[in-house]
Amino acid sequence: MSRKVLLHVGTPKTGTSYLQDVLFRNREVLAAAGIAYPADRPDAHFLAALDLMQLPWGGLQAEAIGAWDALAERVRGHDGTAIISHEILATASRSQIGRALDSLGHNAGAEVHVVLSVRDLVRQIPAEWQENVKHRAQLGYGAFLDQVRDPERATRIGAWFWGVQEIPDILDRWGQELPPEQVHVVTVPPPGGAPEVLWKRFSQAFGLDGIDLDLEGERHNPSLGAPETTLLRRINRKANAELAPADYRPLVRELLAHQTLSRRTSSPRLALPPDLHPWVRELSASWIAELGARGYDVVGDLADLVGAPPVAEYADPDRPREKQVAAAAVDAITALLLDDARLRREEQRLREELADVRGALERAYATPSYRVRRALVVRLEGSGLGRGLLGAYRRARGRSSRSA
């Protein structure tokens, strides 16, 4: 039975992917320090979260069947501290949370802590729209903002947004059975600070100080500028009906969004529209007051939730400078062309290799010799033909989990 369980339940876009990456890569170092991060694959906790919350996810749910119980069993089987982390857990319902806490041994002696990392809404709102667009959404920024501001939260988008972003409500649900000192709020520092500050806060909240961890890796989910996001949205509009999710992931999300468009860093960034700042300011102030009053353990500073003032020159992604969109589109075409060409070349190489082996095989039959055949097998395997290099290449390009 784990003595202590640290359950990191959100929120998206607060450096969670980086944290999960560090934890996954350092599993053995952590284990030596008595900390379990029970995962056999990088998205193990994502699958467990899908299973717990009964969420279909583009076919991935088949891999998620039974994943939560399996994870909980490993947590219960560990003697020491265990960490679970995935940001979509933030939306879990009270009954799901009850089930989760039970399965982790909450009423059987384990000390469960909930950790929530949080970032100001000035950054979270545009980031969440962008995440939607990277997942095939076709709606414009204005329409997104309208749905987010609808007090009924009647649409899927509004319900999801607040489900993963409304900090007091998330902690109401997740903290329902826990004393406030077992609830930890980690704030993301304001933009422009030193990048290692956030890691130090995570390290403190998870009790990782003093463990020699390898901290290499991407710190950020690459983000897109305003014209790039608009371009992606228009691509969704045209391609959605025809492009299967399994192809969208590697080609549009990975190749175009993450590897190509996110490199265009000089275009205007997505931002919260200036006229929404008063609303967001008021809302954030009420959250800060509430969280302060609840007596949670705050790592960082609740004032980080205030957010930056409005940007001087707001770029409305619904009315983009078409020149910038066109320029981004040319980059996208170039990337697709080069990728397609690379794929065809690789295909050609494999074809030639195969023809080669076939020829050698025929000669080998002419002069039957075990050694010649053996050499051929070795060569075939060395070429990657037997293993399917391209398949691996594609899979690597299309990581299946959503990081937010």
> x/- site string to another protein, residues 172 to 201, per CB under 8 A?
xx--xx------------------------
DSSP 269: B
- Binding segment for another protein among 9-17, 72-80, 106-114, 230-238 (CB under 8 A)? 230-238
In the complex, the smallest distance separating the C-beta of residue 156 from another protein, rounded to whole angstroms, is 5
Number of residues that bind another protein (CB under 8 A): 91
Comparing CB distances to another protein, the nearer of 220 and 351 is 351
CA distance 340 to 125: 35
Question: What's the residue count for the chain?
Answer: 404
Comparing CB distances to another protein, the nearer of 311 and 361 is 361
Comparing CB distances to another protein, the nearer of 21 and 331 is 331
Which two tokens mark 273? 């529209």
Label the pairing between strands 183-187 and 4-8: unpaired
- Binding segment for another protein among 62-70, 72-80, 134-142, 308-316 (CB under 8 A)? 62-70
DSSP 267: S
In the complex, the smallest distance separating the C-beta of residue 349 from another protein, rounded to whole angstroms, is 10
Q: From the list 73, 77, 79, 94, which residue makes contact with another protein (rule: CB under 8 A)?
A: 94
Comparing CB distances to another protein, the nearer of 220 and 363 is 363
Cβ neighbours of 94 (radius 10 Å)? 12
Task: Please give, one letter per residue, the 3-state secondary structure of 122-135.
Answer: HHHHHHHHHHHHCC
Peptide bond into 11 cis (omega under 30): yes
Do 257 and 224 form a contact (C-beta atoms < 8 A)? yes
> x/- site string to another protein, residues 313 to 342, per CB under 8 A?
--------xxx-xx--xxxxxx-xxxxxx-
Comparing CB distances to another protein, the nearer of 241 and 312 is 241
Q: Which of residues 363-382 bind another protein (CB under 8 A)?
A: 364, 373, 376-377, 380-381
Comparing CB distances to another protein, the nearer of 191 and 388 is 388
Q: From the list 197, 344, 359, 396, which residue makes contact with another protein (rule: CB under 8 A)?
A: 344
70 binds another protein (CB under 8 A): no
In the complex, the smallest distance separating the C-beta of residue 14 from another protein, rounded to whole angstroms, is 19
Q: Which of residues 17-46 bind another protein (CB under 8 A)?
A: none
In the complex, the smallest distance separating the C-beta of residue 249 from another protein, rounded to whole angstroms, is 11
Q: Which of residues 114-173 bind another protein (CB under 8 A)?
A: 151-154, 156, 159-160, 162-163, 166, 168-169, 172-173
Which candidate, 228, 248, 246, 225, places its Cα nearest to that of 238? 248
Cβ neighbours of residue 321 under 8 Å, at least 6 residues apart? 227, 315
108 binds another protein (CB under 8 A): no
Cβ contacts of 175-181, under 8 Å, gap ≥ 24: 175/114, 175/296, 176/94, 176/97, 176/98, 177/98, 177/101, 177/106, 178/112, 178/113, 178/114, 180/294, 180/295, 180/296, 180/297, 181/295, 181/296, 181/297
Q: From the list 108, 194, 241, 366, which residue makes contact with another protein (rule: CB under 8 A)?
A: 241
Beta bridge partners of 117: 186
